C-alpha cells in the first residue's frame, strides 16, 4: 500500500431521516413525545424502508434503509439483496478503481474489467478512519470479489465497562464480546492507542575507539495507513541468534525502548548483534519470514541506521 491516505470515496452511506417535534408548551411536550415514539414504533413494526440509489450514476444499484435489518441492504442490478457490510459504502467505476488501485492491495488482481461497477464496503465499527476495505462486490450480481482479513463483523453498539474494557455488540448472530482498550484500537479503530510520550532515549558518551551506535524506528507495515510507529521494547542480543533459540529478556545485552514515534537510539560496543521485539509474548525479528533473523553489525565510531519493520497482522494478533 502507498504511504498515503486513500482518496475520498465518491459517496458515503446516507443516514435515515429522523422525525423531530415542533415547539410546544410544557403541557403539550408529553403528547408530542408520545406521538413521535408511536410513529417510530409503527415504522419499526411495519418494517417500512427507504430505497435510494447509492450514487446517481448507477441508479440500478440501490440501498435499502430499514429500522429492522441491521444497517440495511444493497440491491444489486439483478435484484439480489445482501446486507450492508460497513458504515461506509461506495460504488467505483473502472476509472475510479484505476485512480485508487493502491487501496485494494493484492486484491486488485482479482477484479476484472467485466466486474465494474463494483460496490465497496468499509468501516466496520463506525470508529475506523483508515478507509480500509471490508468487502468488494460485483455491481451486477453482488458476487464477492474481495474480503478483507477473511471475515466481516459489523459493530452495532459499543458500551464502556467499569474495568476500562468495552463490550462490542454486533449485527447478526455473532455474540457480543468484551475487549480491552488496546484490542479495541487495533481491531476496530485500526490505530495504536495513544500512549504517554516516552522519555528521551538515554544517550551515553560514544567512545570512538571501542563503540558505535544504532538508531532508527520501529514501525508496523501493511494495511492503511501503510506505516504506523510502534512504541516497544527492543531486545539486543550479542552475536547471531535464531527463532529456535530460547531467549529471555535477562539474556539481552541491552534493552532499548522506542518512543511514541517509534524512534530509538543507543550506544553499543562494536560487534554483531541480533535485534528482536517481543510481540504478544513472541519474539519477532526484523524479517518478513521469521524462519531466520538478520544481524546488525556495529562498527567503531559509526552510527547504524536500522529500521525495524513488523507486520501489522502480527501486532494485531489473532482475531
**DSSP letter string over 183-226?**
HHIIIII-SPPP-PPPPPPP-----TTTEEEEEEEEEEESSSSS
Is the pLDDT at 221 greater than 80? The verdict is yes
Exposure letters 170-201 (e unless 16+ CB within 10 A, then b): bbeeeeeeebeeebbbbbbebebeeeeeeeee
Q: What percentage of the chain has pLDDT greater than the value 90?
A: 32
Sequence-distant (≥ 6) Cβ neighbours of residue 171 within 8 angstroms:
70, 71, 83, 154, 155, 156
Residues 31 and 135 in one domain: yes
For residue 190, cis peptide bond before it (omega within 30 degrees of 0): no
237: helix, strand or coil: strand
For residue 224, what pLDDT band results from cuts at 50, 70 and 90? low
Residues 220 and 312 in one domain: yes
Residues 125 and 55 in one domain: yes
Strands 211-221 and 227-229: antiparallel
Q: Is residue 233 part of a domain?
A: yes
For residue 35, what pLDDT band results from cuts at 50, 70 and 90? low
Range of the domain at 107: 26-152
Residues 148 and 164 in one domain: no
Containing 39, the helix (H) or strand (E) segment is: helix 26-46
How high is the mean pLDDT of the chain? 78
For the chain, what is the domain count?
Answer: 3
Task: Answer whether 236's CB lies under 8 Å from 297's CB.
Answer: no
Q: Is residue 13 part of a domain?
A: no
Backbone angles phi, psi at 118, to 5 degrees: -115, 150
What CATH number is associated with residue 269? 2.60.40.10
- For 305, the grid coordinates are 541506521
The answer for 86, left when phi > 0, alpha when psi is -120 to 50, beta otherwise, is beta
Tell me the average pLDDT across 64-86. Answer: 82
- For 256, the grid coordinates are 532499548
Containing 316, the helix (H) or strand (E) segment is: helix 312-316
Q: Is residue 196 part of a domain?
A: no
Task: Answer whether 139's CB lies under 8 Å from 58's CB.
Answer: yes
Most confidently modeled of 64-73, 124-133, 248-257?
248-257
Q: Is residue 122 part of a domain?
A: yes
- For 295, the grid coordinates are 544481524
Q: Is residue 14 part of a domain?
A: no
Of 10-19, 276-285, 296-305, the one with minimum mean pLDDT is 10-19
Exposure letters 296-309 (e unless 16+ CB within 10 A, then b): bebeeeeeeebebb
46: helix, strand or coil: helix
Residues 97 and 56 in one domain: yes
Amino acid at each position: 500500500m502507498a504511504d498515503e491516505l486513500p482518496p475520498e470515496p465518491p459517496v458515503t452511506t446516507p443516514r435515515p431521516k429522523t422525525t423531530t417535534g415542533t415547539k410546544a408548551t410544557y403541557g403539550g411536550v408529553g403528547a408530542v413525545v408520545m406521538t413521535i415514539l408511536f410513529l417510530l414504533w409503527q415504522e419499526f413494526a411495519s418494517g417500512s424502508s427507504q430505497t435510494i440509489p447509492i450514487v446517481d450514476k448507477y441508479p440500478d444499484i440501490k440501498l435499502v434503509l430499514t429500522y429492522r435489518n441491521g444497517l440495511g441492504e444493497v440491491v444489486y442490478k439483478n435484484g439480489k439483496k445482501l446486507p450492508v457490510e460497513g458504515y461506509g459504502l461506495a460504488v467505483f467505476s473502472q476509472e475510479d478503481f484505476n485512480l485508487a488501485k493502491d487501496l485494494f492491495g493484492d486484491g486488485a488482481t482479482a477484479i476484472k474489467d467485466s466486474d465494474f461497477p463494483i460496490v465497496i464496503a468499509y468501516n466496520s465499527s463506525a470508529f475506523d478512519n483508515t478507509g480500509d476495505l471490508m468487502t468488494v462486490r460485483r455491481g451486477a450480481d453482488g458476487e464477492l470479489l474481495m474480503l478483507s482479513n477473511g471475515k466481516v463483523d459489523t459493530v452495532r453498539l459499543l458500551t464502556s465497562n467499569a474495568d476500562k474494557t468495552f463490550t462490542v455488540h454486533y449485527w447478526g448472530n455473532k455474540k457480543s464480546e468484551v475487549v480491552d482498550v488496546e484490542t479495541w484500537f487495533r481491531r476496530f479503530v485500526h490505530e495504536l492507542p495513544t500512549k504517554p510520550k516516552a522519555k528521551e532515549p538515554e544517550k551515553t558518551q560514544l567512545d570512538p575507539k571501542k563503540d558505535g551506535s544504532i538508531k532508527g524506528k520501529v514501525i508496523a507495515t501493511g494495511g492503511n495507513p501503510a506505516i504506523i510507529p510502534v512504541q516497544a521494547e527492543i531486545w539486543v542480543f550479542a552475536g547471531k541468534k535464531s527463532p529456535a533459540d530460547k531467549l529471555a529478556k535477562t539474556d539481552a545485552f541491552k534493552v532499548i525502548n522506542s518512543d511514541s514515534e517509534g524512534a530509538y537510539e543507543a550506544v553499543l560496543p562494536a560487534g554483531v548483534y541480533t535485534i528482536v521485539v517481543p510481540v504478544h509474548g513472541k519474539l519477532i525479528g526484523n524479517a518478513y519470514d521469521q524462519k531466520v533473523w538478520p544481524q546488525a553489525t556495529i562498527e567503531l565510531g559509526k552510527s547504524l541506521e536500522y529500521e525495524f519493520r513488523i507486520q501489522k497482522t502480527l501486532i494485531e494478533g489473532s482475531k
